[in-house]
Structure 1
Amino acid sequence: MDLPVMPPVRPMLAKSVPAVPREPGLLYEPKWDGFRCVVFRDGAELELGSRNDRPLTRYFPEVVDVLLAGLPPRCVVDGEVVIVTPGGLSFDLLQLRLHPAASRVRKLAAETPAGFVAFDLLALDDRDLTGTPFGERRRLLEGVLRDVPGLYLTPATDDPDQAEDWFTRFEGAGFDGVVAKRADLPYEQDKRVMWKVKHERTADCVVAGFRPHKDGEGVGSLMLGLFDDAGALRNVGVASSFSAARRRELLDELAPYRRDALVDHPWADWAGVDAATPGAQSRWNPTKALSWEPVRPELVAEVRYEHVQAGRFRHTTRLVRFRPDRTPASCTFGQLEEVPPAELRELFGP
């Protein structure tokens, strides 16, 4: 492979803002909920690179076929690998594809094929476009993609009202929000030079355990549960991203709840099991230990989340505060805001 932009490429990133920006000279796109992927094609050679430099090529053979049919012979394209279902985009199905067995990957590729959404062009033929303004890169991208099933060009607009509409209307289909980019923006690797607006809400959850921090100092993440209609406490995700000082404080705050924690604990069967429910082996880092420590499910935490998918928080939540005024029994799925799936025909066709 011999391209003007060679792997690895660290994708250009976005920083969070509370509302859709309305400055002149911006272009807006839906924020996709998939695997960020930079595609390198040189003739018959094609590689799918992930945000963390882990190759995705072997996990998505059907996407390779789509891109060989739909991309120009020599190019580098930034985009997102997605799986579209009748209910919207499915990140859970994407995660299942990161499997070591090739036979399993082939089976899932046939049953739930993934597609690719292109949103930036970094190189074309012998041209390095990373220094070219984004508006021009976008126009070039529009002209080189072939009409192939499974290959999509992300919608884009310079109308902030249209972006606001996408932000609201496409949420139920699994979109993360909206991204804004300056039309004159060069491609700056691994820099947060775009803006993103994401949906955020709060929920009260039962703290049922924690995972120690990887450095052994304090709490790495709080394990969260909600009660379903049958009265079972279901694991819905974690709260994390604590400072070093806060990790140590949390360990002290949880200490009273660790005594006799496994007595009648709803997740007692999982205690002492590494990389098993209510956690799971990390698909991005199979060597990462996901063991956990139980606490009595008596403490309620208010957390900030973006959206729920398949009964779990799609992303890691942030701890807002503990709620001694709330009882664990009040922490049910009923408090979560339900967003109906948006019609995807506009973006993906029938």
Structure 2
Amino acid sequence: MPPRQATRHATTRTLTHSDHVEYPVRPALAQAVPAIPDGPDWWYEPKFDGHRTILRRTEDTVILYARSGRVVTSHWMDLAVAAMQLPPGTTLDGEAVIWKNGKVDFGAAQSRAASTITRARALAAQHPASYATWDILEHPHHGQTTGLPYTERRAILLDLLHDIPPPIQAVPATDDRDVAVAWYDGLQEQGIEGIVCKKGTASYPAGRRGWTKVRHADTEDALVVGYLGPRRRPHRLALAIGDEGGPIRLSARLDPVLAGRIAEVLTAAEVLGERRADGETYTRVDGYLTVEVLAGSGRHGTLTVTRMR
């Protein structure tokens, strides 16, 4: 039996005008699990390896936000221009990705995000970005949609994007676990890093780990909240595993090449003074940079950073 796809026919349910989205949005997050869940009401989407981006179409312009809430429109101006085709009052959740040689190239997206605005525009001319969207948070007629079930939001999203051409496209979705497993096993070479799993009846879990994810890489996300050493060549990082607010841990010494890339982003971060963690003093920064660390690497020692997100 072919997988059931969420219908494109939008629900007629509307929300009151008192409902509104607060910006910057606190995006929904996903909890890593070892296997793709099975059972009723599960829906599955491919996990694209790019930069999490909230896209907001206002009356006059388009604003793009990073996961941290930082405005990143200037770095993804090609997506902002394309999104002017969306009706005002639309807010989408998705991933800014760059395709190179037939696959999603995370390094290219990272280079764009970490570059100067002038350099970002040059990179956009060489390798234009795409916006892989999986959720709609605000709709010009339905108002705020975050309280609706996933399947209703999905239907509204597909209806909205029906006449919108690339580079803005909805990610595939299915409620057939066998299809999700096939995606997981067969799409890694195209840069799909795993599967995100969502309950069809669930609302949008803003700021919470209400989704689950299965990834090929055995890593965890960590928020950079500080650094040790020179700002232009940090030795180690102060990290909050998962979400900010958890205990701060210090990383192992950074690879020199990775340290240089991280330094490019840290130069734009606001310094918030000094703090202590693990018995050492670090420079606290306004955290919006996310890195990956080896899963479990902090249990018996310092955290090993593998790459920026």
Shift of the 77–191 alpha-carbon distance from structure 1 to 2, 3 Å rule, reads same
State the number of aligned residues: 242
Residue type of the partner of 1:317? L
Gaps of 5+ in 1: 203-212, 222-239, 252-273, 290-313, 322-350
Gaps of 5+ in 2: 1-17, 220-225, 230-234, 272-290, 299-309
Q: What are the within-5 Å matches in structure 2 for residues 307-318 of structure 1?
A: 315-318=292-295
The Cα of 1:107 is off from its aligned counterpart by 1.2
The Cα of 1:199 is off from its aligned counterpart by 1.2
Q: What are the within-5 Å matches in structure 2 for residues 66-215 of structure 1?
A: 66-69=82-85, 71-99=86-114, 101-125=116-140, 127-145=143-161, 146-200=163-217, 214=227
Q: Secondary structure at the match of 2:195?
A: strand
Residue 273 of structure 2 is aligned to residue 277 of structure 1? no
Taking the aligned partners of 2:154 and 2:110, their CA distance within structure 1 comes to 29
Taking the aligned partners of 1:19 and 1:78, their CA distance within structure 2 comes to 24
- Provide the TM-score with structure 1 as the length reference: 0.61
Deviations 1:257-297 (A, max 9, x none): xxxxxxxxxxxxxxxxx9963621424432679xxxxxxxx
Shift of the 284–247 alpha-carbon distance from structure 1 to 2, 3 Å rule, reads closer
Contact preservation (8 Å) 1:8, 1:53: yes
Taking the aligned partners of 2:190 and 2:29, their CA distance within structure 1 comes to 23
Taking the aligned partners of 1:13 and 1:183, their CA distance within structure 2 comes to 16
Shift of the 106–200 alpha-carbon distance from structure 1 to 2, 3 Å rule, reads closer
The residue number in structure 2 matching 1:37 is 53
Looking at CA atoms only, which structure, 1 or 2, has the larger radius of gyration?
Answer: 1
Residue 70 of structure 2 is aligned to residue 54 of structure 1? yes
Residue type of the partner of 2:294? T
Q: What are the within-5 Å matches in structure 2 for residues 250-265 of structure 1?
A: none
Contact preservation (8 Å) 1:13, 1:190: yes
Work out the percentage of aligned pairs sharing the same amino acid: 31
The Cα of 1:140 is off from its aligned counterpart by 0.4
The residue number in structure 2 matching 1:22 is 38
Q: Secondary structure at the match of 1:180?
A: strand
Higher relative contact order (CA 8 A, sep 6+): 2
Shift of the 14–67 alpha-carbon distance from structure 1 to 2, 3 Å rule, reads same
The Cα of 1:215 is off from its aligned counterpart by 7.1
Contact preservation (8 Å) 2:218, 2:295: no
Contact preservation (8 Å) 1:122, 1:129: yes
Contact preservation (8 Å) 1:133, 1:183: yes
